[in-house]
């Protein structure tokens, strides 16, 4: 015998359904009369009502091992999405009348049945169905994104203690948890769809634990604006999968069961395996088809778990991530060791200087690159940046002292080599380090950021070699040392300016990146960063002047290379143009391709034409080549 149990508030809808059930032998009964219902006479149940009423009947069906079918109203979109019920009434009725031959699991929260999800605390947007984006324009999704971001200021971490069915104890800090049983198209379910199965006796919880607003915004943008499911679990999200989970929180959190407030933590989530024969849509089982051998899964290693992080995050989520105590201790231990001068540091630095200096003399870029890789000068510079950031006097002093002694050793070593090498020729490798510009500062800033990021992550420490090549600390000091050996103060000052540029850029940007990575609160870091920002600005003044001069030189070279004119009987073309800046007057060196030998008057006309085209006074030195 088939019974159709319906809500008294849905009488009009039931009349419509009856029109499609005329040929069926159905017994109708209101939920108001359910207490007098003799369940032993039923062979199959149909139900229409609100979610709580439906769960009430499902509980009866489960206890009496009856099959049941849901006939949803058009407003129950989430219920339809969860069980993939037909949206067309005729098809929904047909499915509900067909007894299920396969049972699914039931999730309970403190003995209350959960059909869609149970939400502990706050977990936007994990607790939403992706149907919220259906039909939304790009601008609508951006609006949803910003509205969700605004909620972040109200999110606060709470210490949680989660115990699974095997008595594994998991301690972490989070803002909210979403518990699900089925692949129901919520944002939480989409993230762990490969872990969900409707009849394996396991439930899953998705834990939202952002350590910074920036980190959280990345996930939100991808989910709400791009409408993409991340390929890997976001850094702000973890999950646990088991048949039973006991969740305790330091501060009691509200619990929503199927979007209705019903409970508070502590909470027990458990699954009754294959408890209910419910008629579901064809796609439902397709979405739950993943086989995972019924094993428990835990993926929370990347979430904050230490007490210091929990206390820090319990007041508010910061804009940038705060490093964990383990990260902080490990990095500081390394930086303190690297800030101190020692025998290995000096030996490697002097050997690197010798290699770099000889490489500069023989004009070999590969030899110079080898010296860059060998030189350990980056280590105390990064240590100095952390000292600046944390206002750590000992770290600052040790780092600065090691850098000063190291630089002095490089200068002396390079100067001695220059004095005893019977060659005094400016190679292109040397000349390339005599014209620092604002672009070199940008390279140093980016390299410093890369160095700080690599230093904070042991998995990518090998990338520091690339940083060392990019910023090239020892070669400009070696060129300055050669300038000292040759008593060329112009050479010394310009090359040493390039090193100062690299030093300042690295210290400033490395300190800034360490702030972003959470190794210092902003109010502590602000003073050091502002001081070094002023130093960066001061260093930028001569660098910008050099950059403007470089732009002017390029413009002059372009003008002269396009210059073709006639003096007397000869056509002239200028090539291989080089500008050399001297203290008193600049030089322009070039080759002149002529159709014949120029007279003295024609040479004067050539000089006048060159100077007139560039609009400035300069010495003109030319090499003549003749077109035959």
- Domain contains 621: yes
474 lies in the same domain as 620: no
341 and 454 assigned to the same domain: yes
The predicted pLDDT at position 497 comes to: 93
Q: Which segment of 182-186, 230-234, 286-290 scores lowest on mean pLDDT?
A: 286-290
Question: Which helix or strand (DSSP H or E) is residue 113 part of?
Answer: strand 112-114
Helix (H, G, I), strand (E, B) or coil at 79: helix
Residue 458: pLDDT band (50, 70, 90) is: low
Peptide bond connecting 125 to the previous residue in cis, omega within 30 degrees of 0: yes
In this predicted structure, the answer to whether residue 134 has a pLDDT above a threshold of 80 is: no
Question: Is 123 a member of any domain?
Answer: yes
Q: Exposed, middle or buried: residue 302 (CB in 10 Å: 0-12, 13-18, 19+)?
A: middle
Whether 94 and 175 share a structural domain: no
Q: What CATH number is given to the structural domain containing 185? A: 2.60.200.40
Task: Decide which of 189 and 152 is more confident.
Answer: 189
Total Cβ atoms within 10 A of residue 544:
13
Contacts of 499 (CB under 8 A, 6+ apart): 407, 473, 476, 477, 480
pLDDT grade for 325, boundaries at 50, 70 and 90: low
Which residue, among 507, 476, 497, 494, has the nearest Cα to 410 in the 3D structure? Answer: 476
Residue 459 binned pLDDT confidence (cut-offs 50, 70, 90):
low
Tell which of 284, 315, 346 closes a domain: 315
Same domain, residue pair 431 and 530: yes
- Give domain status of residue 558, yes or no: no
Residue 243 and residue 135 share a domain: yes
Burial class (CB in 10 A: 0-12, 13-18, 19+), 392: buried
189-200 mean pLDDT? 86
Q: What is the distance, to the nearest Å, from the Cα of residue 18 to the centroid of all Cα atoms in its chain?
A: 56
Q: What's the pTM?
A: 0.67
When pLDDT is averaged across residues 92-111 and rounded to a whole number, the result is 93
Domain boundary residue, one of 497, 512, 543: 543
Phi, psi dihedral angles at 609 (to 5 degrees): -65, -40
Residue 467 has pLDDT above 80, yes or no: no
Let me know whether 352 and 501 are in one domain.
Answer: yes
pLDDT of amino acid 3: 92
Q: Are residues 278 and 396 in the same domain?
A: no
418, pLDDT greater than 90? yes
Q: Strand 169-174 vs strand 158-164: parallel, antiparallel, or unpaired?
A: antiparallel
Distances in Å between the Cα of 432 and the Cα atoms of 421, 437, 477, 535, 616 are 20, 11, 13, 24, 25
CA distance 479 to 43: 94
Within-domain flag for 338: yes
In this structure, the answer to whether residues 20 and 160 fall within a common structural domain is: no
Dump the DSSP string for 375-435. --THHHHHHHHHHHHHT-HHHHHHHHHHHHHHHHHHHHHHHHHHHHSS-----HHHHTTS-
Tell me the sheet residues that pair with 73: none
Residue 553 lies in a domain: no
| End-of-domain residue from the set 77, 99, 121 | 99
Is the Cβ–Cβ distance between 87 and 287 less than 8 Å? no
User: How many independent structural domains does the chain possess?
Assistant: 4
Q: Does a structural domain hold residue 12?
A: yes
Q: Is the pLDDT of residue 597 over 80?
A: yes
Residues 160 and 14 grouped into a single domain: no
Whether residue 521 is found in the same domain as residue 584: no
In terms of domains, do 233 and 303 share one? Answer: yes
Domain assignment present for 17: yes
The structure tokens listed for 491 are 């050479």
pLDDT in tens, 350-401: 999 999 999 999 999 889 888 888 888 888 998 898 888 888 888 889 999 9
Q: Which domain holds residue 30?
A: 2-99
Rounded mean pLDDT of 328-335?
77
CB 409 within 8 A of CB 349: yes
For the ranges 8-12, 107-111, 311-315, 469-473, the maximum mean pLDDT occurs at: 107-111
Same domain assignment for residues 173 and 277: yes
For residues 104 and 271, the answer to whether their CB atoms sit within 8 Å is: no
Asked if residue 320 belongs to a domain, the reply is no
């Amino acid at each position: 015998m088939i019974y159709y149990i319906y809500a008294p508030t849905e009488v009009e809808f039931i009349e419509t359904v009856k029109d499609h059930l005329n040929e069926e032998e159905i017994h109708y009964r209101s939920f108001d009369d359910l207490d007098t219902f003799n369940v032993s006479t039923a062979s199959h149940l149909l139900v229409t009502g609100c979610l709580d009423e439906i769960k009430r009947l499902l509980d009866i069906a489960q206890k009496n091992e009856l099959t049941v079918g849901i006939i949803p109203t058009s407003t129950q979109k989430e219920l339809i999405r969860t069980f993939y019920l037909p949206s067309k009434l005729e098809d929904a009725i047909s499915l509900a009348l067909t007894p299920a031959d396969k049972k699914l699991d039931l999730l309970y929260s403190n003995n209350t049945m959960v059909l869609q999800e149970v939400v502990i605390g706050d977990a936007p947007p994990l607790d939403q169905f992706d149907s919220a984006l259906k039909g939304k324009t790009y601008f609508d999704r951006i609006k949803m994104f910003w509205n969700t971001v605004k909620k972040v200021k109200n999110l606060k971490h709470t210490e949680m203690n989660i115990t699974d069915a095997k008595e594994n104890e998991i301690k972490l800090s989070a803002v909210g948890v979403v518990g699900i049983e089925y692949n129901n198209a919520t944002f939480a379910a989409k993230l762990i769809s490969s872990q969900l199965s409707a009849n394996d006796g396991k439930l899953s919880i998705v834990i939202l634990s952002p350590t910074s607003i920036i980190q959280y915004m990345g996930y939100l943008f991808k989910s709400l604006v791009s409408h993409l499911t991340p390929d890997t679990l976001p850094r702000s999200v973890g999950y646990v999968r088991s048949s039973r989970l006991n969740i305790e929180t330091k501060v009691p959190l509200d619990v929503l069961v199927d979007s209705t407030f019903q409970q508070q933590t502590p909470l027990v989530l458990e699954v009754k395996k294959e408890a209910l024969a419910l008629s579901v849509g064809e796609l439902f089982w397709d979405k739950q088809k993943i086989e995972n051998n019924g094993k428990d899964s835990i993926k929370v290693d990347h979430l904050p778990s230490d007490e210091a992080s929990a206390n820090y995050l319990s007041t508010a989520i910061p804009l940038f991530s705060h490093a964990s105590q383990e990260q902080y201790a490990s990095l500081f231990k390394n930086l303190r060791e690297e800030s101190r001068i020692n025998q290995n540091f000096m030996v490697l630095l002097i050997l690197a200087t010798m290699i770099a200096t000889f490489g500069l003399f023989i004009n070999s870029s590969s030899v110079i690159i080898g010296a860059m890789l060998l030189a350990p000068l980056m280590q105390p510079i990064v240590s100095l940046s952390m000292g600046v950031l944390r206002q750590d006097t000992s770290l600052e002093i040790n780092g600065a002292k090691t850098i000063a002694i190291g630089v002095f050793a490089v200068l002396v070593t390079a100067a001695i080599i220059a004095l005893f090498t019977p060659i005094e020729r400016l190679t292109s490798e040397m000349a390339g380090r005599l014209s620092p510009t604002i672009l070199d500062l940008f390279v140093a800033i980016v390299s410093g950021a890369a160095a700080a990021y690599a230093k904070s992550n042991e998995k990518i420490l090998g990338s520091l070699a690339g940083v060392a090549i990019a910023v090239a600390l020892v070669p400009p000091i070696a060129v300055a040392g050669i300038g000292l050996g040759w008593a060329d103060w112009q050479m010394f000052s310009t090359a040493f300016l390039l090193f100062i540029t690299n030093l300042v850029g690295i210290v400033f940007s490395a300190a800034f990146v360490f702030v972003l990575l959470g190794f210092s609160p902003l109010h502590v870091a602000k003073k050091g960063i502002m001081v070094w920002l002023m130093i960066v600005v001061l260093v930028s003044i001569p660098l910008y002047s050099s950059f403007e001069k470089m732009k002017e030189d390029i413009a002059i070279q372009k003008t002269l290379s396009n210059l073709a004119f006639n003096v007397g009987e000869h056509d002239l073309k200028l090539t291989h143009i080089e500008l050399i800046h001297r203290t008193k007057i600049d030089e322009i060196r070039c080759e002149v391709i002529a159709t014949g030998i120029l007279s003295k008057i024609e040479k004067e006309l050539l000089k006048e034409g060159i100077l007139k085209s560039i609009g400035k006074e300069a010495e003109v030195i030319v090499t003549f080549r003749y077109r035959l």
